Structure 1
Amino acid sequence: MYALLWLINTVINLFIYVLIASAVLSWLVAFNVVNVRNPIVAQIGEVLYRLTEPALRPIRNLLPNLGGVDISPVILILLLLFVQRLITVDLARFLV
């Protein structure tokens, strides 16, 4: 049980880092710091999009239009941190 909770906690941590990387890359593309015509940047962007979009799309569908500001990654990160906290509490109860 302990190993399963640790694995879920680690996957949540990794997904939070992927969400942050995706948001940073989208800002860099929006401000023309990186060029999406570069094959490496395009491939990284595609991988990040495919990893994050299935989790972000339902949140985007629920949120109202905020005029070009996308806060769905922030909401998803907060939800993931909440789930992670629940897992940590269960893990602490399991160890005690």
Structure 2
Amino acid sequence: MRALFEVILVALQLYTYLIIASAILSWLVAFNVVNTRSEFVRSIWKFLDAVTEPVLRPIRNIMPNLGGVDISPVILILIIMLIDRAIRYYVLPFVY
């Protein structure tokens, strides 16, 4: 049972990295640092969008419009950190 929770924690950590990569890539696209006409960049962009958008969309629907600032990745990372802490402190100490 402990191994299952360890796998969940690793998956949460990996998803956090994907959220950060998606946010950084969106900044790079917005400031024209990377060329979205490149097939490599476009494939990475589509992958990150397909992986993160289904989770970020409900958060964006709940939040008020803040203009051009999107803080939904930050909120999602905070939720992931909360889940991570809950598993580490409340579940894993009791699993043998």
CA distance in 2, matches of 1:21, 1:11: 15
DSSP-derived class of the 1:67 partner: coil
Amino acid at match of 2:28: L
Q: CA deviation at 1:62?
A: 0.1
Aligned-CA RMSD value: 0.7
In structure 1, the residue matched to 2:4 is 4
Amino acid at match of 1:58: P
CA distance in 1, matches of 2:18, 2:64: 24
Greater shift, 86-95 or 63-72, is seen at: 86-95
Q: CA deviation at 1:68?
A: 1.0
In structure 2, the residue matched to 1:27 is 27
In structure 2, the residue matched to 1:93 is 94
DSSP-derived class of the 1:10 partner: helix
Q: CA deviation at 1:10?
A: 0.5
Q: CA deviation at 1:37?
A: 0.4
Aligned pair count?
95
- Does residue 74 (structure 1) correspond to residue 74 (structure 2)? The answer is yes
Q: TM-score, normalised by structure 2?
A: 0.96
Amino acid at match of 2:53: E
CA distance in 2, matches of 1:27, 1:92: 40
CA distance in 2, matches of 1:27, 1:68: 12
In structure 1, the residue matched to 2:52 is 52
DSSP-derived class of the 1:29 partner: helix
The percentage of aligned residue pairs carrying the same residue is 55
Q: TM-score, normalised by structure 1?
A: 0.96
Unaligned runs of 5+ in 2: none
Which stretches of structure 1, 4 residues or more, deviate above 4 A after TM superposition? none
